[in-house]
Every structure is written in structure tokens, then in C-alpha cells.
Amino acid sequence: AQTVTQSQPEMSVQEAETVTLSCTYDTSESDYYLFWYKQPPSRQMILVIRQEAYKQQNATENRFSVNFQKAAKSFSLKISDSQLGDAAMYFCAYRSPNYGGSQGNLIFGKGTKLSVKP
Amino acid sequence: NAGVTQTPKFQVLKTGQSMTLQCAQDMNHEYMSWYRQDPGMGLRLIHYSVGAGITDQGEVPNGYNVSRSTTEDFPLRLLSAAPSQTSVYFCASSYSEVWTEAFFGQGTRLTVV
């Protein structure tokens, strides 16, 4: 079964600086999908960025980018020019390409709580 | 476009009581699922459905029932609430294409006393 590990329960960053959140995963599949979700204090789960494993190019969404290392099974999230609104819980998630079974659901890491200092 | 709507947002139950958490989506998504979020545990899958009339168990199904009579609705039933079911519950939905994102409801904070 696939697993997702986020080894940093909490991180802190100064406003306007850059921070990287770590995520590793374990799978025997060659194709899959990876996601980062943000959960602010409002509890809403918000998609930040996604990466398809068959794409070598790292995904980028404005100030958010990933460092996807397929061989190392690593999927870190970099937040540039951090803003106060980035303070939240961040979850890394894995999704199998096998639709129709439980594998089609998201498998989450335990999360990293990010604080942003003014 | 309402997206995924969960009700209620907060609920307190006494041990042994039953209740239903409601989830509705208006995006015609095939996939729907229920997760629970506990501190330090991330989100864990309770039950899921790949379409109307089809449901299956996830990682932590004990104490919960689901049904999917329509594409839009996917209620979660707690049969006899226990303090161990104190948690935040999320309903999510997505298209069948696995590369698509899952959309989440705003969550239900449930406390069992």
C-alpha cells in the first residue's frame, strides 16, 4: 500500500522569505498523481498544486513550486515570498491512477503546520 | 455553483446517539468520499463511492455506514456514537479521472461526550 510521509510537523518562515516543506512517499506504481493541499484556520481544504508523475517538469503556480524527484520519491513544496495568508496546515497527498477501487482516493500525509512571522 | 456542501458544521452528541452527516455536490462528480481528520493523523478515508449505488470501505470504516442513492448525495451515518469518533469530518468529490483535484466540503466538527 502507498504511504505518504511529512517529516516536519511544524515550520516557521519570516514574511517575504522562502520556505520548503518536505514530502516523501512510498509506492510501487510508475504512474501516479501528487498534490499539495492547504488548510487555513477556516478548515477549508484548498488545492495548491498538483504534479503528474510522468511529467518531468516541476509544476509551478505563482509563488508555489514543487521539487519532484521521482527516483527519490520526494515531492517538496517551495513557497516563495511568503505572505501572512500562507499560514496554514499543508498536506501532501498521493493518488493512484487505478480508478474504481480504494486506490482512486487520496492518501494524505500527516501535515505540516506553517507559521509566517511578520 | 455551491460545490460540496456539508451539514452541520458543528455537532455535539452523547455516547450511544446516532446521527447523519449530510454531503451534497452539484458538480456531477462520480467519486465521493468521507475522511476524518484527527490531530497528528492527517486525513484518513472512512468510506467512498464511485457512483450511485456503489460504496466501499476505506481505512477506518468501523462505526460508520454510507449509502449513495443519487449522484449528488453521500450521507455518512454514525450508528452509535463513541468518544473515539470525536473528529473533524470531510466530504470530498471528484470526477473519475484520477488526475483531477478533489473538492472538499467545509468539514463537520463532531464532539462525542
pLDDT bin (cut points 50, 70, 90) of residue A1 is: confident
CB-CB: which of A35, A44, A91 is closest to B42?
Answer: A91
- Written as nine digits, the cell of B49 is 463511492
The answer to whether the CB of A114 falls within 8 A of the CB of A87 is yes
Task: Pick B15 or A103 by higher pLDDT.
Answer: B15
List the alpha helices (DSSP H) in A1-118. Answer: none
CA distance A59 to chain B (A): 14
pLDDT, tens digit (0-9, with 9 covering 90-100), for A22-73: 999 999 888 889 999 999 999 999 999 999 998 889 999 999 999 999 999 9
**Measured distance CA(B88)–CA(A47) in Å, rounded:** 19
CB-CB: which of B33, B40, B104 is closest to A105?
Answer: B33
pLDDT, tens digit (0-9, with 9 covering 90-100), for B42-98: 999 999 998 899 999 999 999 999 999 999 999 999 999 999 999 999 999 988 766
- Written as nine digits, the cell of A110 is 500527516
